[in-house]
Amino acid sequence: MVFTGLFAILAVVLFAPFLIKKVEEELEIFLFVMGTVAVSITSQWSVPLIEEALIEPVKITLAVFAAGFLFRALQKPIAANVNKISDAVGLKLFAFLLIVILGLLSSIITAIIAALVLVEIISYLTLDRKNEVMLVILACFSIGLGAALTPIGEPLSTIAVTKLKSDPYHAGFFFLFDHLRHFIIPGVLAFGILGAVLMPFKRSRKEGLSDRKQEDLRGISLRAGKVYLFVMALIFLGKGFKPIIDEYISKMPYQGLYWLNTLSAVVDNATLAAAEIDPGMSLLQIKSALMALLIAGGMLIPGNIPNIISAGKLKIKSSEWARIGVPLGLLMMVIYFFFL
């Protein structure tokens, strides 16, 4: 009965955000409820679990809050100079630098702030819609990869380090950087090169995508609060799904785990990381699972936080994203599979 209940919860977690708009809009609350239900039916409530759920999200929440004020201060300089800089260095080099710098910085400023900076830059960059959508998707792939280099970059990396901090890995701040940088940094550079190749030589002088709302204290605080609840929810989900992990996923060969995680295209990759990553897995299993989650997460809008933020603020349609994101993501999945 416990396994039946857990698989039912897993199915709801996987598909409800994709099928029900209200769930997608209130994803943090939905995942928190599902996490508490999963822990409850497996009778795993404990004081250490509650302490972990209350304390662990604090670091990334504070990082998001602080970075929000930094971003607010940079909004006007970005607006005033984005087109001047793109003209000075050339659009192709500008695209390369934008994709690579945001991808690498996202591990420090968080994927959320990197996505907000991307939205601000795109809002004032005068390109036609097709090229702006292409640039946003490539940058979001890069941000999604780069943010995983540190545990403050995104919820997936926070959850992974949290779940691997015990024996045998004793994961610390640089655990993901040490083990994934050989995959992530070349990937970020590859997306930057692709952006440089695909971008035109000159701006079109046309208005493309746009979102020019000024950040305020309420918006910054609300976003930080949602991140706190989101990470807490994923800790509960990870604990609740532990019986499934122990019985099925931890025994799966790395090849099967890799391709299973194409599900990350339709489900936030941190949710899947919470369900899958476990200290009982081999390092190759962990690398395969995480890289598949990071790559597939860029394929469709629900796959990771930068996609959701960028598409929502810039009004990019799901079909627009899928036309570029799905074939690009599948190609990268094949390439990384052979490297792994």
User: Over the stretch 191-246, which tens digit does the pLDDT of each residue have?
Assistant: 999 999 998 877 666 655 555 566 678 888 887 888 788 778 878 887 888 787 77
State the pLDDT at residue 212.
53
The fraction of the chain above a pLDDT of 90, given in percent, is 32
Averaged pLDDT for residues 139-150: 95
Q: How confident is the model at residue 187 (pLDDT cuts 50, 70, 90)?
A: very high
What is the enclosing helix (H) or strand (E) of 171?
A: none
Averaged pLDDT for residues 307-335: 88
Averaged pLDDT for residues 114-122: 87
- What is the rounded CA–CA span in Å between residue 31 and residue 13? 7
Q: Is the distance from CB of 127 to CB of 203 less than 8 angstroms? A: yes
Q: CA dist 119 to 34, 50, 206, 209, 303, Å?
A: 31, 36, 17, 9, 18
- What is the rounded CA–CA span in Å between residue 270 and residue 105? 19
Q: CA dist 124 to 207, 235, 271, 281, Å?
A: 8, 38, 33, 46
Averaged pLDDT for residues 262-284: 78
**H helices present in the chain, as ranges:** 2-19, 21-25, 27-41, 47-55, 58-89, 91-109, 111-124, 129-146, 155-163, 175-198, 217-240, 242-247, 254-260, 269-276, 283-296, 305-314, 318-339
State the pLDDT at residue 291.
94
Q: How confident is the model at residue 7 (pLDDT cuts 50, 70, 90)?
A: confident
Averaged pLDDT for residues 54-59: 84
What is the total residue count of the chain?
340
Of residues 290 and 247, the one with the higher pLDDT is: 290
State the pLDDT at residue 250.
65
Closest to 94 in 3D by CA, of 176, 203, 177: 203
Q: Which of 124-128, 189-193, 228-232, 304-308 has the highest mean pLDDT?
A: 189-193
**Residue showing tokens 């995959």:** 183
- pLDDT tens by residue, 322-332: 899 999 999 99
State the pLDDT at residue 276.
80
Q: Which of 82-96, 152-166, 282-296, 304-318 has the highest mean pLDDT?
A: 282-296
State the pLDDT at residue 74.
72
Alpha-carbon torsion, ordered 233, 235, 241, 243, to 10 deg: -150
- pLDDT tens by residue, 61-82: 887 787 677 767 777 777 677 7
State the pLDDT at residue 208.
56
Quickly count: other Cβ atoms within 10 Å of residue 182's Cβ. Answer: 11
- pLDDT tens by residue, 250-267: 678 889 889 988 877 766
- What is the rounded CA–CA span in Å between residue 103 and residue 118? 10
Q: Is the distance from CB of 117 to CB of 97 less than 8 angstroms? A: no
- pLDDT tens by residue, 19-42: 787 887 787 788 899 989 999 999
The tokens describing 195, both together, are 């952006």
The fraction of the chain above a pLDDT of 70, given in percent, is 92
* 274 has a pLDDT exceeding 80: no
Mean pLDDT of the residues in the chain: 85
Of residues 78 and 136, the one with the higher pLDDT is: 136
* 146 has a pLDDT exceeding 80: yes
206 by Cβ neighbours in 10 Å (0-12 / 13-18 / 19+) ranks as exposed
